[in-house]
Amino acid sequence: MSESKSFWRYFKKNRLAVGGLVMIVVIFLIAGLASFVAPYDPGQTGVSLKLDAPSVNHFLGTDQLGRDVFSRMLHGARVSLSVGFVAVAISIFIGILVGAIAGYYSGWIDGVLMRFVDIMLCFPSFFLILTVVAVLGPSLLNVMIVIGITSWMGTSRFVRAEFLSLRERDFAQAAKALGVSDRRIIFRLILPNALAPVFVTATLDVATAILVEAGLSFLGFGVQPPAPSWGNILTEGRTYIFDAWWLTVFPGLAILITVLSFNLLGEGLRDALDPRLRGRR
């Protein structure tokens, strides 16, 4: 049985992970088709419609400016997912680069890089992100970059551990004996075999990045209005929490379902990719 067939065989046994994957696909479709599915312009205001409860005309009600919450939620999904994936792409790139170099060369290079990782891990990540965003200024691009450059340490450790093991394998030693360049050995031979834990980490990190963006937006340091994101919709609703419950309940549920789906998928990937865990199912 091929590795891919074996992976899928064990993955599909985990119903929670499959459910998470299906939910993520649905959320992606919603985000991609937001411009076509949304019944109203997310920025369209109407004083007469202020704080209308959920109804046939406005499925999730309206906010304090009369904007349709359902339309803003659909467009907010696009923003939140963009933050999650771009931030994780940045963190995975840095983590792979640092971990691969540290694990392959070891010695003093490994010592210097890993001490830097330890120093980065000493800082409370959210407060570090909050400080950097406060200095650079709140914007969608800054949020993506800051989350990415402050969340790569876990990936670097996973990659380093894989490289320390794989560099001693026969195929790596044979390539080195034949005079193959270090760059080719690292990125063409060893790295493809070290990516399994990275996929799991990336899936879980997307959920974390979405939560961080929501937290930053809630504090006013994330995506700035009038651009909709689940975090700032939640922020705008806190003032009216007793008068317009829908302004906090629906974005909160969207964040909960999305983060839970990514976490379930990540756990399923971990179980299916690790032979030691397959026997438990």
- Summarised one tens digit per residue, pLDDT across range 187-212 is 888 888 888 788 888 888 888 888 88
- The string of pLDDT tens digits covering residues 232-254 is 888 888 888 888 888 888 888 99
- The string of pLDDT tens digits covering residues 5-60 is 777 778 888 888 899 999 999 999 988 888 888 888 888 887 788 888 888 888 88
Overall domain count for the chain: 1
| Residue among 96, 81, 215, 211 nearest 153 (CA) | 96
Give the pTM: 0.85
CB 103 within 8 A of CB 161: yes
Residue 226 is classified by DSSP as T
Q: 176: which 2 tokens?
A: 């080195």
Check which CATH number belongs to the domain holding 21 and give it: 1.10.3720.10
Residue 12 is classified by DSSP as T
What is the span of the domain harbouring residue 117?
Answer: 3-278
The mean per-residue pLDDT over the stretch 131-147 comes to 81
Q: 269: which 2 tokens?
A: 């990937």
Name the burial class of residue 214, with classes exposed (0-12), middle (13-18) and buried (19+) by CB atoms within 10 angstroms of its CB: buried
Q: 77: which 2 tokens?
A: 């999904």
Question: What is the rounded average pLDDT for all residues in the chain?
Answer: 84
| Residue among 28, 45, 137, 38 nearest 84 (CA) | 28
CB 194 within 8 A of CB 273: no
